Structure 1
Amino acid sequence: MDLDRSHVVREGDLRILNPFDAGKLATLGRAIRLRPGMSLLDLCCGKGELLCTWAREHGISGTGVDISTAFTAAARERAADLGVADRVRFVHGDAATYVPAEPVDVAACVGATWIGGGVPGTLEILERALRSGGMLLVGEPYWRRTPPDEATVQGCYATSPEDFHDLPGLVELFQECGFDLVEMVLADQDSWDRYAAAHWLNLSRWLDDNPDDDLAPRFRVELTEDPVRHVRYVREYLGWGVFALRRR
Structure 2
Amino acid sequence: MDRQTISRLAHAHHPIAAPIADESVAGLLARATGHTETGRALDLGCGEGGWLIRALAARPRWQAVGVDLDAAALTRAREVALALGVERRIGLHHLDAQEFKAVEPFDLVLNVGATHAFGGLLPTLAAAREHLAPGGLVMVGEGFWEREPGQAALDGLGAERDDFADLATTTDRVIADGWTPVYGYVSSIQEWDDYEFSWTGSLAAWALDHPDHPDAAAAREAADRHRAEWLHGYRGTLGFVTYLLRRD
TM-score by length of 1: 0.91
Tell me the residue number matched to 1:117. 119
Asked if structure 1 preserves the Cα contact closer than 8 Å seen for 2:68 and 2:95, the reply is: yes
Q: Which residue of 1 aligns with 2:237?
A: 237
Residues 176, 158 of structure 1: alpha-carbon distance in 2 compared, 3 angstrom cutoff: farther
Partner amino acid, structure 2, of 1:37? T
Q: Give the counterpart letter for 2:132 in structure 1.
A: L
Shift of 1:214: 4.7
CA drift of 1:242 comes to: 1.3
Task: Quote how far apart the aligned CAs of 1:108 are.
Answer: 1.0
The offset of 1:33, in angstroms, is: 4.6
Using the size of structure 2 for normalisation, the TM-score is 0.91
Report deviation, 1:164.
0.6
| 1:67-110 alpha-carbon deviations (Å, 9 max, x no partner) | 11111111112212222222222221111111221011111111
Counterpart-to-counterpart distance in 2, 1:12 and 1:56: 20
Contact 1:105–1:131 at 8 Å: present in 2 too? yes
d(CA) in 1 for partners of 2:26 and 2:186? Answer: 13
Q: C-alpha separation between the residues in 1 aligned to 2:213 and 2:169?
A: 43
User: Does structure 2 conserve the Cα–Cα contact (< 8 Å) formed by 1:96 and 1:116?
Assistant: yes
In 1, Cα distance between the equivalents of 2:223 and 2:106? Answer: 41
1:112, CA displacement in angstroms? 0.7
The number of equivalent residue pairs is: 245
Question: Is residue 145–residue 238 contact of structure 2 (8 Å, CA) maintained in 1?
Answer: yes
Amino acid at match of 1:93: L
- Residues 87-236 of structure 1: pairs in structure 2 closer than 5 A: 87-147=89-149, 149-155=150-156, 157-236=157-236
CA contact (8 A) 2:6 2:203 kept: no
Query: Hey, what's the Cα distance between the residues in 2 that align with 1:126 and 1:243?
Result: 13
Q: Tell me, in whole angstroms, the C-alpha distance in 2 between the residues paired with 1:201 and 1:212.
A: 19
Structure 1 Cα separation of the partners of residues 81 and 4 of structure 2: 24
Q: How big is the shift at 1:205?
A: 2.1
Separation of aligned partners in 1, 2:165 and 2:241: 12
Q: Corresponding residue for 1:52?
A: 53
Most deviating of 7-16 and 113-122: 7-16
8 Å CA contact 1:6, 1:215 repeated in 2: no
SS in 1 for 2:236: helix
- Quote the Cα distance in structure 2 between the aligned partners of 1:67 and 1:3: 12
Structure 1, unaligned stretches of length 5 or more? none
Instruction: String of CA shifts for 1:44-78, please: whole Å, max 9, x gaps.
Output: 11111111111121332111111111111111122
AA aligned opposite 1:83: G
> Residue 67 of structure 1 contacts residue 94 of structure 1 at CA under 8 Å; is this kept in 2?
yes
Distance 2:82 2:151 in 1: 46
Deviations 1:174-219 (A, max 9, x none): 0121111111122111111222111222222222244354534433
Unpaired runs of 5+ residues, structure 2, are: none
* Counterpart position of 1:69: 71
The CA RMSD measured in Å over matched residues stands at 1.9
Structure 1 counterpart of 2:40: 39
User: Residue type of the partner of 1:106?
Assistant: L
The amino acid of 2:133's aligned partner reads R
